[in-house]
Amino acid sequence: NAGVTQTPKFQVLKTGQSMTLQCAQDMNHNSMYWYRQDPGMGLRLIYYSASEGTTDKGEVPNGYNVSRLNKREFSLRLESAAPSQTSVYFCATRADSTDTQYFGPGTRLTVL
């Protein structure tokens, strides 16, 4: 029972490169979230998915796309990375019956 897993743990990109951050959960939760965490700013919601096949924009969606591949997996794609996207990215899940969000260990992304 791994909970919420994220890959990769670390990534360095050059400006303009693309990449996909992967998130998978074995908790059978419907809701999944992508956040970014920057120093002094807490967590900001990028996109969320209330169920398989649905996605919605959060507070800071520009420059990102998401795919809810199935109930288990929710990926975040950067099509053309920019230095402003240097951050730590967290995936989280939530069961319908609770407000508690469960977080993965994060991906530290640096864009040069």
Partner 1 sequence: GENVEQHPSTLSVQEGDSAVIKCTYSDSASNYFPWYKQELGKGPQLIIDIRSNVGEKKDQRIAVTLNKTAKHFSLHITETQPEDSAVYFCAASSPSNYQLIWGAGTKLIIKP
Residues at the contact surface with partner 1, assessed by CB under 8 A = 4, 31, 40-45, 48, 58, 90, 92, 94, 99-101, 103-106
Cα separations in angstroms, 26 against 19, 68, 71, 96: 24, 14, 9, 15
Nearer of residues 14 and 40 to partner 1, judged by Cβ: 40
To the nearest whole angstrom, how small is the minimum distance from the Cβ of residue 100 to partner 1? 5
To the nearest whole angstrom, how small is the minimum distance from the Cβ of residue 31 to partner 1? 7
Please state, in angstroms and rounded to a whole number, the distance separating the CA atoms of residues 71 and 56: 15
Nearer of residues 68 and 94 to partner 1, judged by Cβ: 94
To the nearest whole angstrom, how small is the minimum distance from the Cβ of residue 37 to partner 1? 9
Cα separations in angstroms, 74 against 4, 36, 38, 83: 11, 15, 21, 23
